Structure 1
């Protein structure tokens, strides 16, 4: 793909004056993982360990007929594609951030367990977790073009 210099300059201008509210963005990512992610897994027909080893089939489980069935298949496909994007986003963030997000949102580890794994105090862990959640928001924004932006801007 050849880059258009004008579009590249417009892209660069997006960074001017945009300040991310890291606390609110982290809260929005937590909400995504606590509310949206479990629903996506149900709709896609996968389990909680999907992030670690994504394997899905686009095939419906039973034959279907009519618009209602088409809606269900469409919902399943979009849920699967969104989960694939979640997995891609987690794959490109830092190793420590990946460890935190998988530990907290997939393996359901509590803060003390994560502190032990990371070798840090709780206050430091909270900072690292917020960083991980913000890294995920940055990566997810470009991995899943149809999902709403998880960033909150000041």
Structure 2
């Protein structure tokens, strides 16, 4: 027997405006922070001293936490880049110019660069943010309708 899948239960209806805003907040705030955290050289850390003697707050714990934060930040950066590259061509171009370019284009610069009118650009930007929210796998960036 073939069992029907309840698509509405698996993929509830999203609030597009709130989802696009959440994705934009992630890309404008969280992503740059993760870039900074992951960009530090791991060789800046001193090797922890291992001892079987009990201690209070040890450097090893601090070093371990810093390494873990760096690894997590690097994973977030890589997943963000991968999610952008999994979007359609228009979305990828918009997101790359806004969030991956060293120049960090503004909205007006992007719509002029790609040759869209302002209204057309904001429609495609919203679609790009929704595509990114769909493709980003480390956190659910969707906001759902109730």
* Fold match (TM-score > 0.5): yes
1:152 matched to 2:143 = yes
Residue 52 (structure 1) aligns with: none
Q: Aligned in 2, Cα 1:72/1:11: closer, same or farther, shift over 3 Å?
A: farther
Cα deviation digits, residues 6-54 of structure 1 (max 9, x gap): 7x94778403xx11111111100111011101110111016xxxxxxxx
Structure 1 runs of 4+ off > 6 angstroms?
A: none
Residues 20 and 12 of structure 1: CA distance in aligned 2, closer, same or farther (over 3 Å): closer
Distance 1:28 1:9, change over 3 A: same
Aligned residues: 130
- The superposition leaves residues 122-142 of structure 1 with CA deviations (integer Å, 9 ceiling, x where unpaired) of 01100000000000000003x
How far apart in 2 are the matches of 1:106 and 1:87? Answer: 8
Q: How does 1:103-118 map to 2 (within 5 A)?
A: 103-107=97-101, 108-118=104-114
**Inter-partner Cα distance in structure 2 for 1:10 and 1:83:** 33
Q: Which residue of 1 aligns with 2:90?
A: 96
Report the aligned-residue RMSD.
Answer: 2.2
| Structure 2: distance between partners of 1:34 and 1:24 | 15
- The TM-score normalised by the length of structure 1 is 0.76
The 8 Å contact of residues 21 and 151 in structure 1, kept in 2 or not, is answered as yes
Query: In the superposition, relative to structure 1, how do residues 31 and 138 fare at CA in structure 2: closer, same or farther (>3 Å)?
Result: same
**Larger Rg, first or second structure (1 or 2):** 2
Matched residue SS, 1:26: helix
Q: Which runs of 5+ in 2 are unaligned?
A: 49-59
**TM-score (norm. length: structure 2):** 0.79
